[in-house]
Amino acid sequence: MIKLITFDFWNTLFVDRGEEIRNEMRKEFALNRLQKYKPDLTKEDIDSAFEEAKINFELQWQRYTASNMTDYVRVVCNELGIEIDSKDETEIVEFFETVLLKHQPLLIPKAGDAVRHAKSRVKVGLISDTGYSPGTTLRKILGSHGIESYFDSFSFSNETGYLKPRIETFLPILHDLKIRPEESVHIGDLEHTDIAGAKRLGMKAIKFIGANKLAVRESIADVVIDDMAELPAALERLQYNGNK
């Protein structure tokens, strides 16, 4: 009996095509703020410092430990040889974390309906590796589409400190809602994080490949779907008989 459904965020509920634009916005903001510390600072200097920060960020990602924008900004400043005051650091970090709201991702077709359908039957959670945008920002994205209130619990990597497939990313919701792994199903697009992580813990898993162009159908998931409209039928296949 399924009592909980958890969703991934990226390429499961929302698809993003705007990170390059947002990264240029971050660079422009940083350049404008940091030139007061180093007047001869150039766009090329910023590009180089951002590349080093990206490398550091990705190294953390490969260890399945979450980095954050405070660390990112500090690497940028260190590469530039600049020491900034706490007020400027806070303002730069805040811009970096919330620029997603200025150029938002797109809600995947039928994803909102899928969340509402899940909520009509059982508890619903969100488990997301946050990347550059923390959980506070992602919740605002959900809210702008009117679906944040359908979630009973959230687990964001910037808050847990870990990335999927680490079980520490899945456990907070299970503990919060007092539901066992075998009574839960996770829906996501990535085989080595969403699917492997959920299955390792004993959850059921549904792989959604409709929004990830690199996703392959071969999977250890219990069910694979191409369209969020297929979710109700997929859940029925998993003996979806839970109650709230």
Where do the structural domains in the chain lie, given as residue ranges? 4-17+105-237, 19-101
Radius of gyration of the chain (CA): 19
Tell me, what's the pLDDT at 163?
95
Q: What percent of the chain has pLDDT over 70?
A: 98
pLDDT at 1 over 90: no
Q: How confident is the model at residue 240, as a pLDDT?
A: 52
- Measured CA to CA, the distance from residue 100 to residue 18 in angstroms comes to 9
| pLDDT band at residue 244 using 50, 70 and 90 as cut-offs | very low
Q: Per-residue pLDDT averaged across 182-189, rounded?
A: 97
Confidence of residue 164 (pLDDT cuts 50, 70, 90): very high
Average pLDDT, stretch 46-64? 92
Q: The whole model's pTM is what? A: 0.93
Average pLDDT over residues 143-147: 97
DSSP one-letter code for 12? T
| CATH class of segment(s) 4-17+105-237 | alpha beta
155 touches 180 (CB < 8 A): no
115-142 in b/e form (b: 16+ CB < 10 A) is bebbbebbbbbbbbbbbbbbbebbbebb
pLDDT at 224: 96
Burial of 86 (0-12, 13-18, 19+ CB in 10 A): exposed
pLDDT digits (tens, 9 = 90+) for 196-243: 999 999 999 999 999 887 788 899 999 999 999 999 999 998 875 444
